[in-house]
Structure 1
């Protein structure tokens, strides 16, 4: 059965990587959320996609140059004007805040380490320590485009699932995934034809393509029982899945 992961939360309808977006994903029945992490100036794990705050907030500059208190002062509703007038302005959350909220649900969480351009010191250790603190080992998938980082995560915590992100076509990528001790793989949807998805699943490797937003792509992937899809529109995906299960 194909699981539905909400990409940066319900990013198609809510400000991405905010608690508002994650809560919306839970309410619509998503099976999991996907989020991105960087480190603040003092080393706090913060949830934001880009290396800078420019695109998703009303601030400017690199995440690593802001203290957490300064990041918390920014408005993270960037393009969603309807959220800018709310009593509670969407903010950049910490991973700890997300984990606290997860105590009240059973969602899985895909944490993408954003350390491809900036090598944050001890990012892997900090994330894994927090997972251990909350005992979320069975609920977490760690992914990254930095596959060296994923191998390091495996060395630190072989019991926590890792999954390489990639955007180009690979030959028999499930063999590569096994080579780096990953239990899953997260390809760009365009690099994941049905043949590749079926080959990986048959070999015991979970496949969760990103970012699946079109109805016809959702239907195709659900029909072949892809492990999961990562989408900006989890509510739409859940409705399509429900309709397909009836037929």
Structure 2
């Protein structure tokens, strides 16, 4: 069965990477949540996509220049719609604690593809282990050095390479960094790649799939998972495909 991951929560209907978006995804019955993490000035793990707070909060500046206390003062919801005024930037710890109340899977994307973020891998793994969620977490990144490092630190955590272009036999490349999953960009993902990768034991999870026709194609083919901003829509499509 194709799993449905809510991309940054239910990001099509709620402000991304907020508890409002995560709770909506849980409400509609999603299989997993995808989110992005990076570090504050005082080395706290916060859940936010961009390297700056400009787009999704009422603040200005780089995430790494804010302390946790400072970033928690920002409004993280009203940019999306007035009713979400007061939403805060979550910490990874808060999300992991919430996961103790449900059975959702979690995909953590490390946002360190352009900036060197010392100790991000160690800190993230420490939190996962502390909350006993090793079996329910996938770690992905466009920084494949980071994926290799995660595997060295805890080989029990599934790692996946993120990639935007067509790779030749990506399952072979994945072995070089000990990745076990392939997270591929929807426009560059072929049916043939999905089929061969999965036959070789490499789950393919495609991002970001928001059109119903494409959802239907991927689900009918048996793609391992899709990431979508509209999880409720994707779940409805899956029900139709499965009959």
Per the TM superposition, whether the score is higher than 0.5 is: yes
CA distance in 2, matches of 1:11, 1:79: 13
What is the CA distance between 1:78 and its match in structure 2?
Answer: 4.5
Counterpart CA distance in 2 for 1:82 and 1:202 is 47
Q: TM-score, length-normalised on structure 1?
A: 0.97
- Separation in 2 of the partners of 1:83 and 1:31? 26
Contact 1:55 1:78 (C-alpha < 8 Å) held by counterparts: no
> The residue matched to 1:208 in structure 2 has which SS?
strand
| Structure 2 partner of 1:58 | 58
RMSD after superposition: 0.9
Q: State the secondary structure of the residue aligned to 2:148.
A: helix
Q: CA deviation at 1:179?
A: 2.2
Q: Which runs of 5+ in 2 are unaligned?
A: none
Q: Distance in 2 between matches of 1:82 and 1:239?
A: 28
- State the number of aligned residues: 243
Deviations 1:160-180 (A, max 9, x none): 000000000111111111221
Query: Are residue 177 (structure 1) and residue 160 (structure 2) matched?
Result: no
CA apart distance, 1:236: 0.3
Q: What is the CA deviation profile of residues 172-216 of structure 1, one whole-angstrom value per residue up to 9, with x for unaligned ones?
A: 111111221111010101121100000100000010010000001
**1:31-42 matches, cutoff 5 A:** 31-42=31-42
Q: Decide whether the 8 Å contact of 1:83 with 1:90 is kept in 2.
A: no
Question: Secondary structure, in 3 states, of the residue corresponding to 1:135?
Answer: coil
Give the TM-score, by structure 2 length. Answer: 0.98
Answer whether contact 1:206 1:227 (CA < 8 A) is retained: yes
Q: Is the 8 A contact 2:216 2:238 kept in 1?
A: yes
The Cα shift of 1:118 comes to: 1.6
Q: Which residue of 1 aligns with 2:208?
A: 211
- The correspondence for 1:192, drawn from 183, 189, 193, is 189
- 2:25 and 2:231 in contact (8 A); partners too: yes
Matches within 5 A, 1:104-183: 104-183=101-180
